Structures are given as C-alpha cells and as structure tokens.
C-alpha cells in the first residue's frame, strides 16, 4: 500500500505468496515427519524408575483377576453376577464376569433342554 507502482506491487504480492507457500510446505513437512515417525521397538521404552512400579501394578492386577476368577466359579446366581458386573470398574474384571454369566446361562439352557429318550432294547 505504500507504493503506487503496479509492477512493484505485483512483485511484493508475488514475494508474499512465495513466502506463504514455503511456510505451508515447511508445516506440511513437519506434520508428515511427526505422523510417520518410525515405531518404537517392541521392548518397553519407559524410564528406568517407573518400570518396576508398572511391573508391580501389572502383577497385582493379574493376581486380583485370578482371585476374581476363583470367586466367580463359586457363584451360581446370574443376578449376583450382574450386580458384580455393574460394580466392576476395570475392563478385564467386566470381561471375566460376562464370561461367567454366559457360562451360567448356557448351563441353565442345557438343564432345561429335554433329555434324549433312551431307545427301547429290542
């Protein structure tokens, strides 16, 4: 806006567009490099201080799930299992409880099915 020369204005606008294009290309390259970073190796990259703690928590969770599994084997009431399901917070706990409910329902269905008639001996 400071100059009245149209040719100079065109050069300035062209330079501005070129700078904007370069900036856009840099942004796209930066985004692409973030998006396609190589995956980390399969072993844990946690810092050394947190690793034992996370390992201990994982072991505690496995122990709790094993205990829950033993408790579920004793329960024979679908309503009681449903109450436990609603109270459970962890995905793995809910998964175990749903499996126990399915097992009980399958056993109930098998119990209701008519028994095959024994054939009369000829």
75 phi and psi angles, rounded to 5 deg: -75, 130
Average pLDDT over residues 47-61: 74
The domain spans of the chain are 6-32+56-111
Sequential DSSP letters for 31-64: HHHHHTPPPPPSS----TTHHHHHHHHHHHHHHH
- Per-residue tokens: 106: 């399958």
- Whole-model pTM over 0.85: no
Neighbouring residues of 72: CB distance < 8 A, sequence distance ≥ 6: 81, 84, 96, 97, 100
Per-residue pLDDT, 17: 93
Q: Are 88 and 97 in contact (CB under 8 A)?
A: yes
pLDDT at 21 over 90: yes
User: In which band, very low, low, confident or very high, does the pLDDT at 20 lie, cut at 50, 70 and 90?
Assistant: very high
pLDDT, tens digit, 9 for 90 and up, residues 70-106: 888 888 888 888 888 888 888 888 888 888 899 888 8
pLDDT at 18 over 90: yes
């Amino acid at each position: 806006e400071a100059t009245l020369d149209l040719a100079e204005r065109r050069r300035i606008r062209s330079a501005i567009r070129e700078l904007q294009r370069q900036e856009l290309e840099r942004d796209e390259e930066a985004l692409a490099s973030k998006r396609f970073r190589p995956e980390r190796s399969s072993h844990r990259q946690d810092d050394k201080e947190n690793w034992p703690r996370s390992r201990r928590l994982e072991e505690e969770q496995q122990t709790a799930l094993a205990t829950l599994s033993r408790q579920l084997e004793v329960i024979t009431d679908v309503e009681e299992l449903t109450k436990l399901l609603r109270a459970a917070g962890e995905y793995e706990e809910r998964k175990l409880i749903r499996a126990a409910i399915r097992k009980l329902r399958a056993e109930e269905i098998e119990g209701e099915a008519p028994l095959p008639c024994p054939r009369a001996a000829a």
